[in-house]
A and B are shown apart, each in its own frame.
Chain A
Amino acid sequence: DQQVKQNSPSLSVQEGRISILNCDYTNSMFDYFLWYKKYPAEGPTFLISISSIKDKNEDGRFTVFLNKSAKHLSLHIVPSQPGDSAVYFCAAMDSNYQLIWGAGTKLIIKP
């Protein structure tokens, strides 16, 4: 049973608009979350993270929101750019300090 779920396999957004990628988790003990971005034929690269003591973390165009009561986090990209087209993975750190990954969401930015 997947503990980290990204229910949208793909998302298409117009260039310049906001992209919102969602992630749900089931384990309330998770206390650190990360987003990674992956281009084809490359390894994932770290994008942004958030600790459970916060509800928001910003880095430039990227903002991650955490709603612990709903066990939900989201990644906002504003404004979306063509180079943002990639697969985005949500990951959570478990009590063994191992990362539990979602299945990923493919983001397509349309010109």
Chain B
Amino acid sequence: DAGITQSPRHKVTETGTPVTLRCHQTENHRYMYWYRQDPGHGLRLIHYSYGVKDTDKGEVSDGYSVSRSKTEDFLLTLESATSSQTSVYFCAISESGGVAWSYQETQYFGPGTRLLVL
């Protein structure tokens, strides 16, 4: 199993409060991703990173920011949580990506963080 941990695993918060989710990897993979999973939508990409301090937006980035100051850590921040951000959040990693994507590549996922915004 790829060494990916997410913290916290569960969180309940109130509307308007800031929330930070952490993803930590021990694989030294260059690419890291944050997804959210909602019923009827599968997984949707929020932001991804292709190196330290290098990030880009995904399909559903509004209301989220990310930071990557070290190879092993990728943080997802909800500056002011809303009820529509209640979801399960997954972090993923891959060794290659973007135009360097290898067709032998895949993304490895963490266990997820279940976030409830009241």
Contact = CB atoms under 8 A, between A and B. Distances in A.
Interface in B1-42: 4, 39-42
B118 interface: no
Interface in B29-81: 39-45, 48, 58-59
Contacts of A65: none
Interface residues of B, number: 25
A21 interface: no
Interface in B92-118: 92, 97-99, 101, 103, 106-112
Interface residues of A, number: 23
B45 to A, nearest CB: 6
Nearest to B103: A51
B103 A45 contact: no
**Interface core residue of B48, B92, B107, B108 (most chain A CB under 10 Å):** B107
